[in-house]
């Protein structure tokens, strides 16, 4: 059985019986992302601050990247062995040199981001870390307009304004 092409996989995307089911699915995916993301931050903070001698932000990053690769390989094998529909997206993963080279710059940036996140967590509290991450949304809006030269929606600008206002209020309350 040959691996599916992108077009074949796109045709086999999940079909929803109602708009409500689709919203529930998206909500659950977002909630799972938030949960895992916040849990990862707290686990990393506890790893990096529990022992003063453990100077391992880069080791933690390396281990997390290696674990992710191993986990994806296990999912691919499980998908082929079990045929479970929810694992089907992992069965068709094909790795070739051309794709690896195209993704390499993004992978380097991603590893740098995780490394700097862990270094940042080592020296600041979780509350300030989350506050600083909120600025990612504002920065994305600004870069979308200035670097990509794309029009930014009013909703995105309003969201950035709310985030900025919240950060300014938080900063004043800390003084």
Q: How far lies 22's CA from each of 17, 19, 33, 66, in Å?
A: 8, 5, 17, 33
Structure confidence at residue 32 (pLDDT): 95
Q: Quick one: pLDDT band at residue 53, thresholds 50, 70, 90? A: low
pLDDT of residue 4 exceeding 70, the answer is no
Structure confidence at residue 10 (pLDDT): 46
CB atoms within 10 A of CB 114: 19
Q: Quick one: pLDDT band at residue 163, thresholds 50, 70, 90? A: confident
Structure confidence at residue 101 (pLDDT): 93
pLDDT of residue 50 exceeding 80, the answer is no
For the whole prediction, is pTM greater than 0.75? no
Structure confidence at residue 127 (pLDDT): 81
Kindly report, residue by residue over 92-140, the tens digit of the pLDDT: 778 789 998 999 999 999 899 888 888 888 888 888 888 888 888 889 8
Share of the chain above pLDDT 90, in %: 28
Cα–Cα distance for residue pair 45/122, rounded to 1 Å: 7
Q: Quick one: pLDDT band at residue 174, thresholds 50, 70, 90? A: low
Query: How do the domains of the chain map onto residue ranges?
Result: 1-123, 125-175
What is the torsional sign of CA 120, 122, 125, 127? Answer: positive
């Amino acid at each position: 059985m040959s691996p599916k092409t992108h077009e074949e996989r796109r045709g086999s995307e999940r079909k929803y019986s109602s708009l409500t089911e689709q919203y529930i699915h998206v909500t659950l995916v977002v909630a799972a992302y938030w949960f895992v993301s916040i849990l990862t931050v707290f686990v990393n903070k506890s790893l990096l601050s529990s022992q003063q001698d453990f100077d391992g932000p880069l080791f933690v990053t390396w281990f997390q990247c290696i674990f992710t690769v191993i986990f994806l390989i296990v999912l691919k094998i499980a998908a082929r062995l079990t045929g479970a529909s929810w694992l089907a997206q992992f069965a068709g993963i094909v790795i070739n040199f051309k794709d690896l080279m195209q993704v390499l710059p993004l992978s380097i940036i991603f590893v740098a981001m995780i490394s700097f996140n862990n270094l940042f967590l080592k020296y600041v509290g979780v509350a300030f870390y989350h506050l600083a991450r909120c600025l990612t949304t504002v920065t994305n809006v600004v870069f979308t307009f200035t670097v990509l030269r794309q029009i930014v929606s009013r909703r995105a600008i309003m969201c950035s304004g709310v985030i900025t206002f919240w950060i300014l209020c938080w900063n004043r309350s800390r003084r």
